[in-house]
Structure 1
Amino acid sequence: MPAHGTQTITTGRQWVLLILGGIVTVVVVLAAVWVIFTPRPANTPEENAGGRPAPAAAPSPVPVTAPTAVVAPGTPKPASCNEIYSPDMVAAFGDLVLNPAWTTEPGADVRVGADDPELRAIINASEHLSCRWVSPAGASGSGVSTSVVWVTAEQTAAVEARLRALGMECYEELGGLRCITETSAGADSIGQSHFLRGGIWLATQYVNAGPDGYTHDMVNSIWAGA
């Protein structure tokens, strides 16, 4: 029989304590596993090393669609201004030259073939060739500027309507429509000639220059054999 004051744990009580300790251990382990493997909510931002939310992924770039060409199959398409003039027309310009370097410099004083804002807007928005016969030394008081413009049927109708609204004289010629106007400002002769045919618009401005048959020569060169 043990002395007074000494506690004795019976065998039954030891088993109870062992079972309780095992249960507590299992609960702790299961809690740890739940914390580790439970997925984070979808709207919980991932945090970087600095404790701030990581930036969202950049949006994908929007593809840019190239404009569709308006040139209809079979429409003549000269690659350069050199292809739209005959040798005789080139010789007829004398001291004026085709597209000298200064005409492409920023801020160059050049014309586009029409002085009306609505017509210029169509030229600038469309595929075109800029062909200018001017002095090689720079802007002067004479020259001829033509834009060879490829246009849709709708644009052709809009150009014709605008030319007529501006009071130009229009008539059928060489399988197309020709519209002309000419004015005088002092000693200067200033005019325009426009020709529409089969998806092409020849828009021409001239000041104190322009050999006879200039538009006819372009038409015969562009539609050679037609």
Structure 2
Amino acid sequence: MTVPTSCEEIYSGELIAALSSKHAPLNDASMADPNYSNTEGVEELLRTLDPLRCTWGVAGPVGIVTGVAAVTAEQSAAVLEMLTSSAFACGDESGGTKCEFRSEGEKEFLLGESHFLRDGIWVSTFWINADITGYTEDIIATMWA
């Protein structure tokens, strides 16, 4: 499997419509250099892989950042090691491994991360104060349809 070349390729039409109404715009210039993760090592590794970057919202207290990158088996194992040693809940899902973490931060912000690894692809999502119900699941269903 290869990494899609545009953000529109990773979402279903239904999710694009929902995100456009709740968290627009897609890839606003103010989100040109977002964080992909607050987890030590994860951010650094993902940046070295030059991921497809898909952001929803503008720089501020609400937003979603997703990176999609190709990974080797060794990189995938390293990601899973970092996530499992950082209090992520990981398990088998949809033919791959999904890891999630949610926490309430300062000022009542709700932060979270979701990572999915399958077939040499890593889908990483970092969000703040955004409704991501079904978000990663939609990406999985769309990319591996």
Give the TM-score of the pair, scaled to structure 2.
0.91
Q: What is the distance in 1 between the residues matched to 2:3 and 2:53? A: 13
Q: What is the distance in 2 between the residues matched to 1:81 and 1:202? A: 12
Q: Does 1:115 align with 2:115?
A: no
Give the alignment of 1:139-150 within 5 angstroms: 139-150=59-70
**Local SS of the residue matching 2:136:** helix
Q: Does 1:190 align with 2:111?
A: yes
Number of aligned residue pairs: 142
Give, in angstroms, the shift of residue 189 of structure 1: 1.1
Q: What is the distance in 2 between the residues matched to 1:208 and 1:77? A: 27
Uncovered stretches (5+) of structure 1, i.e. residues with no partner: 1-74
1:14 corresponds to? none
1:218 corresponds to? 139
Q: Does 1:205 align with 2:119?
A: no
1:3 corresponds to? none
Give the alignment of 1:1-226 within 5 angstroms: 75-93=1-19, 94-95=21-22, 96-104=24-32, 110-112=34-36, 114-135=37-58, 139-185=59-105, 186-224=107-145
Amino acid at match of 1:133: W
Tell me if structure 2 keeps the 8 A contact 1:143–1:210: no
Q: Which structure's residues are more often strand, by fraction?
A: 2
**Local SS of the residue matching 2:41:** helix
Tell me if structure 2 keeps the 8 A contact 1:175–1:197: yes
Give, in angstroms, the shift of residue 174 of structure 1: 0.7
Tell me if structure 2 keeps the 8 A contact 1:92–1:211: no
Q: What is the distance in 2 between the residues matched to 1:169 and 1:103? A: 28
RMSD: 1.4
Computing the radius of gyration from Cα coordinates, the structure with the larger value is 1
Uncovered stretches (5+) of structure 2, i.e. residues with no partner: none
Give, in angstroms, the shift of residue 91 of structure 1: 1.6
Q: What fraction of aligned residue pairs are identical, expressed as a percent? A: 36
Larger relative CO (CA 8 A, sep 6+): 1 or 2? 2
Give, in angstroms, the shift of residue 77 of structure 1: 2.5
Give, in angstroms, the shift of residue 90 of structure 1: 1.2
1:27-71 superposed Cα distances (whole Å, 9 cap, x missing partner): xxxxxxxxxxxxxxxxxxxxxxxxxxxxxxxxxxxxxxxxxxxxx
1:19 corresponds to? none
Give 4+ residue runs of structure 1 displaced > 6 Å after superposition.
none
